[in-house]
Each structure stands twice: as structure tokens, then as C-alpha cells.
Amino acid sequence: MAAVEVLTSEMVVPAEETPSGGLWLSNLDLAARRGYTPTVYFFRSNGEPGFFAAEAVKDSLARALVAFYPLAGRLGVDGAGRVQVDCTGEGAVFVTARSGYALDDLMSEFVPCRAMRDLLVPATPAPDPPCALLFVQVTYLRCGGVVLGQAMHHSVCDARGAAHFFETWASIARGDAAAAAGAAPVTPCFDHGLLAARPGTARAVLYDHPEYKPEPEPMDIAGSDYASSILTMTKAQVGALKARCPGASTFRAVVALVWRCACRARALPPEAETRLYSMIDMRARLDPPLPPGYFGNAVVRTSVAATAGEVLSNPVGHAARRALAATSQGGDYARSLVDYLEGVDAMNLPRSGISRAHLRAISWMGMSLHDSDFGWGAPAFMGPALMYYGGFVYVMNASGKDGGLALVLSLEPETMPEFRKVFADELARLEVV
């Protein structure tokens, strides 16, 4: 693996004065994984002078931090000891580096793992007050390409919020008219009180919410030692799969296929319980819906259980219908969860991973690569820089405009070779007319 040499490390502060004070975080913010989410964007050089010049990138970041000023603050605590964001304007950490990698070599070798995260994303401190909230690294490659890596604190926002910030930053960098006038394409909303628990007797916990409780029995936890893969599906393969899953969304159909393949690759006994976890964006499902620019954590954990025998002995459409139970909750479910979290220690919920029989599926399909164009072309790839344990799958749009998908997956090291074989066999069957 090629090394990276750090060239500079500095703080980038907002280009203008920004609001100060404490920003209240909702129960969903506190219940999010306490840590940083590292992502990477790979850009191919277009040969133009000034391609990702550090001063231009810093300048656009400083202007983006005006609209997204909480990211220039620090994680803090209020007088009652509750975690909040202290809007101090101290800035985001900005690192430049260079590497002996060429972009094509890096992309062929890249999978989310600790080594790649350490190579392409700045080191972050313990994710506790008073830590910084945003870390950025621009790595210049031997071929002229660039990797833009970032780590954002999960207590501040979810993946959709992070994409909103990144796309706004990109629009500023490429000189869009609205951005040039100082306005974000979609105005961020920091009113986390929109997801506050209902007062007193109005609280109603209508669901069980097992995803936020300790397992009733000890689990065979998938450890931090995992193998990662990036697998692709063509538009034709996705279409053939959906034809076998009537009424299912693309995400549900794909996750159903991955669930079946994981059960088979893990050689789970028919009676073993396997649980499909997901994260559901509640912005549009609430009544009234959250503002389009809501910047915070607005996703909830959901799950559905089945036996491995049920998943494997039925057609893939059956698993897709089961997945519907984990992805169809409405606003009443979110309100019930927020009320439930009001009665527990939301800052110290169990976050120890999932059983080796389970799968956690997350959709990043709403993150358009073309909205991340900084003025030199859309990324050739974007994705997570790190997986946290085995059993994760991110479903994302593949690069290009052909409608394909990229699946970023982590499994136990001994399971991954068999999964890749089973998955390839399933794709081959899809292509049979």
C-alpha cells in the first residue's frame, strides 16, 4: 500500500461571522452512533490548471461553513450535562497530503477498511466533548487525481445531512449563482426541537423498539475483524431482480437478495433467527414533514426477524415483502421512538454490533455523485471509508448514469469468499430469460 505524506494541517473558520451559543440536540441525535463517519470521494484529473488547488478548496469550505455554522463548532454539554453543539466558530480541520498512488490503482485496491481510512481521512480524536466536528483531507495523487476525504461527527447529522453539506460546498466551489450570492441551494434547518419528545401525558410509546435495547440473550457478535467488498449490479440486473419482487422498491429488492445470499454464505441452520436491520429517513414521513433542509439525525433504526429457512426456502420476493416490514414505518413510529428515548439514557444506548446471523442495510441511493461536482467533474466514486463490523451493506448509485448500483458490504472474513460466489450465481440466474 502506497504511503501518504501530510503536507499541511490547519483550521478553516467560517468566512463570515456566524451565530454563537448552544445548539440543542434531539433524542435521535443522542441515540446515533457516537463517533465520526468517514467518507471518500475520488476525482479524476481533468487536466485544468488549478485542479483542486488547496486555496480554492479552503475558500469554498470557509464559505460553506457560514451556512452550516454548527460544523465549525465543538461538541459540548449544557448545564444539565446533556450533549449539545457549542457554536463557537472555531472551524473545521483541513489537511492536505500527497500519495504515490495513481487513481486507477487506488480504485482497484480500495475497500472500506481501517488502513484506507487512515490513509485518506484525517485522524480524529475521541468523539467526546470538546471535540471538533468536521475533518477534511485533500490527497493529491501521482496521476493528478484527488481524493477528498471527510469525517463528520454523527451526533451532528445523518448521511442525508452530510450529503446536503457536501453538495452545498461543491456548489459554492463550482460557482453556482445562488451559492455565489451566499445562499445554500437548500437552506439548512437546525431546529432540532422539531424532533423533541411530546410533553408529559401526550407521550405515547406505541411500539417496542427492540433495536434500541440490549439483546435479551448473549449474541455471537460480528467482530471488528471483517472483510469488505464493493460489488456492482447493472441496470438490467436490478430490473430483472425487481421483476421477481413485485411491488418492492429497488432498495428492498436488492436488500432481500443480499439477505438471502448472506444466510446461505454463512451456512445458517434453518431454525436460526436472522434479523434484517435498516435505517429509515423520517423527514418526509412525519406529519407535518420536516423541512427539506433539516440538518440533524432524522433516521430511525428498524428491523424484522425471520428464520434462515424462511428466507432461503422462499423466492426472493418473499424476503422483499419481509423487508417491507423494516422499511415502511410512518411518522407515528418516529414519534413513538422519540418518546421512548426520553425515558432512557439515550447517550449510552447499546452499540456493540449485531449478531453474525444478522444484516444491517442502509440506503445511500439519494446521494448523487453529480451533485458533488466541485467544478472539475463529478466523482469517479464515493463511499464509506470504513465499516465498523461484519454484516453491513450500503446500497448506492454506481458511478456513471446507466442506472447501476454499487453494494459496499462487510462480512466475517471466512464468509466473504462464499458470499461473493453465491451472489455471482444469483446475478447469473437473474440474467437467464
Question: How much of the chain exceeds pLDDT 90, in percent?
Answer: 76
From 195, 215, 233, the end of a domain falls on 195
pLDDT category of residue 343 using cuts at 50, 70 and 90: confident
Q: Rounded to an integer, what distance in angstroms lies between the CA atom of residue 135 and that of residue 156?
A: 13
What stretch of H or E contains 242?
helix 235-243
> Pairing between strand 83-87 and 92-99?
unpaired
Is residue 207 domain-shared with residue 190, that is, in the same domain?
A: no
Output the average pLDDT for the chain.
91
Is residue 24 domain-shared with residue 168, that is, in the same domain?
A: yes
Question: 283 lies in which domain range?
Answer: 200-430
Q: What CA–CA distances, in Å, run from 339 to 207, 209, 230, 269, 348?
A: 10, 11, 38, 38, 16
pLDDT category of residue 212 using cuts at 50, 70 and 90: confident
Is residue 36 domain-shared with residue 18, that is, in the same domain?
A: yes
Q: Rounded to an integer, what distance in angstroms lies between the CA atom of residue 410 and that of residue 420?
A: 11
Cis upstream peptide for 125 (omega within 30°): no
Is residue 170 domain-shared with residue 117, that is, in the same domain?
A: yes
C-beta separation of 360 from 392 below 8 A: yes
Is residue 260 domain-shared with residue 285, that is, in the same domain?
A: yes
**What is the mean pLDDT of the segment spanning 321-349?**
85
CATH code of residue 401: 3.30.559.10
Nearest to 312 by CA among 374, 357, 377, 360: 357
Is residue 240 domain-shared with residue 347, that is, in the same domain?
A: yes
Q: What CA–CA distances, in Å, run from 89 to 6, 66, 247?
A: 25, 9, 48
Is residue 125 domain-shared with residue 265, that is, in the same domain?
A: no
**What is the mean pLDDT of the segment spanning 85-103?**
97
From 170, 195, 220, the end of a domain falls on 195
> Pairing between strand 299-307 and 392-397?
unpaired
Q: What does the radius of gyration of the chain's CA atoms come to, in whole angstroms? A: 22
pLDDT at 328: 78
> Tell me: the pLDDT tens digits for 4-45?
899 999 999 999 999 999 999 999 999 998 899 999 999 999
Q: Strand pairing partners for 96? A: 8, 138
**What is the total count of domains within the chain?**
2
Cell 467533474 sits on residue: 377
Q: Which residue has the higher pLDDT, 63 or 204?
A: 63
| Residue 179 pLDDT greater than 50, yes or no | yes
C-beta separation of 296 from 155 below 8 A: no
Least confident of 84-88, 193-197, 201-205, 378-382: 201-205
Is residue 222 domain-shared with residue 356, that is, in the same domain?
A: yes
pLDDT category of residue 329 using cuts at 50, 70 and 90: confident
Cell of 92: 473545521
Is residue 59 domain-shared with residue 81, that is, in the same domain?
A: yes
Our separate counts of H helices and E strands in the chain read 12, 15
Nearest to 294 by CA among 303, 279, 309, 282: 282
**What is the mean pLDDT of the segment spanning 195-214?**
87
Maximum CA pair distance of the chain?
65
Cell 440506503 sits on residue: 363
C-beta separation of 303 from 211 below 8 A: yes
Question: How much of the chain exceeds pLDDT 70, in percent?
Answer: 93
Q: Rounded to an integer, what distance in angstroms lies between the CA atom of residue 223 and that of residue 356?
A: 8
From 163, 195, 227, the end of a domain falls on 195
**What is the mean pLDDT of the segment spanning 122-151?**
96
Cell 445523518 sits on residue: 158
> Tell me: the pLDDT tens digits for 290-313?
999 999 999 999 999 999 999 999
Q: What CA–CA distances, in Å, run from 110 to 1, 106, 120, 146, 223?
A: 10, 6, 11, 14, 21
Is residue 178 domain-shared with residue 287, that is, in the same domain?
A: no
| Residue 178 pLDDT greater than 70, yes or no | no
Is residue 183 domain-shared with residue 311, that is, in the same domain?
A: no
Is residue 171 domain-shared with residue 207, that is, in the same domain?
A: no
pLDDT at 218: 45
* Residues 6+ positions from 405 with CB-CB distance below 8 Å: 232, 233, 238, 250, 254, 365, 395, 396, 397, 398
Q: What are phi and psi of 87, to 5 degrees?
A: -80, 90
CB atoms within 10 A of CB 67: 25
pLDDT category of residue 224 using cuts at 50, 70 and 90: low
Q: Which residues are catalytic?
A: 154, 373
